[in-house]
Structure 1
Amino acid sequence: MIMRAEGVTLAYGRTPVVHDVTLDISAGGVGLIGESGSGKTTLARAFLGLLKPVRGRITYGGRDLREVDMKVFRKAVQPVFQAESLDPRMSVGRSIAEGSRDRAAVPALMEEVGLDPALAGRKPHQLSGGQRQRVVIARALAVRPELLILDEPTSALDVTVQARILGLLEGVGTERLLITHNLAVVGRLCRTSHVLFAGRIVESGPTEDLLRRPAHPYTLALRDAVPKLGGEPPVARGRAESAPAETGCPFRLRCPLAVPECESAPERREVAGRTVACHRAELVLTGLAAR
């Protein structure tokens, strides 16, 4: 286990946005899945030490993050944001060398991410979107981190460039926490995944199981919303209210399986090899089996 969140609640001002989250970042890649506003990026900011928990704690190597030497931590845990995070005033080579202070290593790093070292003198606006994203990855890899925290690293890229970058991330041998709403990406890069809705983990388990046989109606809705080539249009599940319920199960206002029991908050429990916070998880699984 590299890092751990233990009962973490996070807030902006007085507004909680992540509620009582416990999860481990361990070998094989970990995914955080959910729609915009689910709390994925907020949780990632806490893992990077940029946001302090209101309750609970973040640990690195078994130690509270507040007690860790930040110089050591910043080299060991590197963020990979979208390409727009590059400084437009800096050349590609300077951006890559910024963390390690080793200009001599830049050509090898560029080759490692599939870039021509001759591009080192160019500014970000002179590169394509895929090239800029690879520069961001090379910059993170420059300090040889233990963990990459990836926030939608392929969301603005075309399919061909996405495939190249995913292959690169698979090959670098660095552990990763992936924040995404793209189920194909998380299925390729992460052994374990956690599904967030309204700042709460509603389902956790092996990624393959979550995508093949979801046990929570929200996970099922995310999976069914992915268009399939030559298939039927995505199935609309539940109603269109975007705001979560303030009491009981937060997903119940959008859930097609909601019953009066859902007015009480479900406890997380073991179902079919994963943990799920849903009163009707068995019915979700049974419904899938009947298809």
Structure 2
Amino acid sequence: MTTPPPAPLAAEDVTLGYGGRAVVHGVTLAVDEGGVGLIGESGSGKTTLARALLGLLRPLSGRVLYEGRDLAGLGRRELAGFRGAVQPVFQDGSEALDPRMRVGSSIAEALTAHHRMGAAERKARIAELLTDVGLDPEHAGRRPHQLSGGQRQRAVIARALAVRPRALVLDEPTSALDVTVQARILDLLSRLREEHGLGYLLITHNLAVVDRLCRTSHVLFAGRVVESGPTRDLLTRPAHPYTHALRAAVPTLARASDPGEPDEAGGPGGPDLGRAVRLAEAPAADAGCAFRHRCPLAIPRCSQETPILDKMDGRRVACHRAEEVLAGALRQ
């Protein structure tokens, strides 16, 4: 039986922090074809983990792996290969593109850094990339401020694809866009995934986006993965109270239509989104479950014993009462 090749990008029991203080704790995941979602509210550690996967932050412990090799041990040539194979796509295209440079020059910069090609070949490649992401080749002559938000994000994606990467790290790639443009960018990412065989890590708080693009997902709370598995299973039948709270915080037509009716996530008029944010900002505990202070199912054991990420119902979940959550202990 042939052993499958290692994922182009992976984290192995990675702990991260600033000034020696850990803010991400023991995360393991692999970024391969099919898309991997990293879900959590602001302050949960998503972007910190992304920085480590891009080689911008060294772990306090654990390893970031590129094609099965520890990123910390790569030589200069291997590191250059990693930089080309793993590309970021950030939240705001206006910040990701140099305002002084034309779009074509920004893409050419990436091509020059990783590929040797003549001027004519480079110009043809830029036109091909812009066409591939749904832009006209004439956009190469424009500066970022002359593009719409959706066009800028397409240009950022074109630049990331210029070096023919194996994996993309997408940090909230559609959150700065309106709903209509979001849908177009999601269609683009879905198509590019199939055509280029890309693996990607999608960092988001938008459950609809991760449901659309990712086969598997990891839910991060206070720097720890509390639930991971097939995305659709996590969103339709969550096994962790925090995953349940995130899903409950998504507005629905029924909730919006009756402003006087309190719902499961908070006060009148819809879900308590502020409360959902506060959940993610809760500090990780030295012992016990970090979510216990907000959890409606917390018991004394939750204060005494940190739950481990264990297999259950086709996923992994870190909760002492996961079986009860799956059985419907929390109102849907």
Q: Scaled by the length of structure 2, what TM-score is found?
A: 0.83
Give yes or no for contact 2:37–2:210 (8 Å, CA) kept in 1: yes
Show the counterpart of 1:36.
42
Deviation at 1:289, TM superposition (A): 9.0
How far the C-alpha of 1:35 sits from its partner, in A, is 0.5
State whether residues 222 and 284 of structure 2, in contact with CA within 8 Å, keep that contact through their aligned partners in structure 1. no
**What is the rounded CA distance, in whole Å, between the counterparts of 1:129 and 1:180 in structure 2?**
18
Aligned to 2:96: 85
- Corresponding residue of 1:236: 265
Tell me whether 1:5 sits opposite 2:11 in the alignment. yes
Pair 1:113 & 2:133 matched: yes
Kindly provide the CA deviation profile for residues 113-142 of structure 1, in whole angstroms up to 9, marking residues without a partner as x. Answer: 111222211111111111111111010011
Higher mean Cα deviation, 193-202 or 102-111? 102-111
8 Å CA contact 2:9–2:167 kept in 1: the answer is no
Q: Are 1:227 and 1:234, in contact at CA under 8 Å, matched by a contact in 2?
A: no
Q: Report the 3-state secondary structure (helix = DSSP H, G, I; strand = E; otherwise coil) of the residue aligned with 1:52.
A: coil
CA distance in 2, matches of 1:256, 1:105: 55
SS in 2 for 1:157: coil
Q: Which residue of 2 aligns with 1:285?
A: 326
1:257 corresponds to: 297
Aligned twin of 2:238 = 214
SS in 1 for 2:88: strand
2:101 partner letter: M
1:131 to 151, 171, 174: 151
Residue 245 (structure 1) shift:
5.2
The residue aligned with 1:169 is 189
SS in 2 for 1:125: helix
Q: After superposing the two structures, state which structure 1 stretch, 110-119 or 218-227, moved more.
A: 110-119
CA distance in 1, matches of 2:212, 2:25: 28
Go from structure 1 to structure 2 and tell me whether the alpha carbon gap of 1:166 and 1:261 turns closer, same or farther (over 3 Å shift). Answer: same
SS for the counterpart of 1:99 is helix
Residue 234 and residue 151 in structure 1: after superposition, are their counterparts in 2 closer, same or farther (change >3 A)?
Answer: farther
Q: Which moved more, 1:233-242 or 1:148-157?
A: 233-242
Q: Which residue of 1 aligns with 2:164?
A: 144
CA contact (8 A) 1:17 1:198 kept: yes
Q: Equivalents in 2 of 1:138, 1:73: separation in Å? A: 18
User: Structure 2: which amino acid aligns with 1:222?
Assistant: L
Contact 2:31 2:167 in 1 (8 A): no
In structure 2, the residue matched to 1:26 is 32
Counterpart residue number, 2:65: 59
Rounded to whole Å, the distance in 1 between the matches of 2:253 and 2:132 is 33
| Residue 49 in structure 1 maps to residue 55 in structure 2 | yes
Q: How far apart are residue 290 of structure 1 and its match? A: 7.2
- Report % sequence identity: 66
Aligned mates of 2:138, 2:128 — CA distance in 1: 11
Name structure 2 gaps, 5 residues minimum: 1-6, 113-121, 257-261, 267-271
CA deviation after TM superposition for structure 1 residue 107, in Å: 1.3
Which residue type is aligned with residue 89 of structure 2?
A: V
1:246-291 Cα deviation digits (max 9, x unpaired): 2310001111111111112112111211110000111111116975
More helix by share: 2
What is the total number of aligned residue pairs between the two structures? 291
| TM-score, length of structure 1 as denominator length | 0.95
Counterpart CA distance in 1 for 2:254 and 2:314 is 32
Counterpart AA for 1:141: L
Assess if the C-alpha contact under 8 Å between 1:3 and 1:59 holds in 2: yes
Range with greater deviation from structure 2 (65-74 or 186-195): 65-74
Instruction: State how far apart, in whole Å, the 2-side matches of 1:200 and 1:137 are.
Output: 29
Bigger shift: 207-216 or 225-234?
225-234
Greater alpha carbon shift after TM alignment, 221-230 vs 207-216: 221-230
Query: Structure 1 residues 48 and 266, CA, compared in 2 at 3 Å: closer, same or farther?
Result: same
SS of 1:38's equivalent in the other structure is: coil
Matched residues in 1 for 2:284 and 2:39: separation?
20
Amino acid at match of 2:323: E
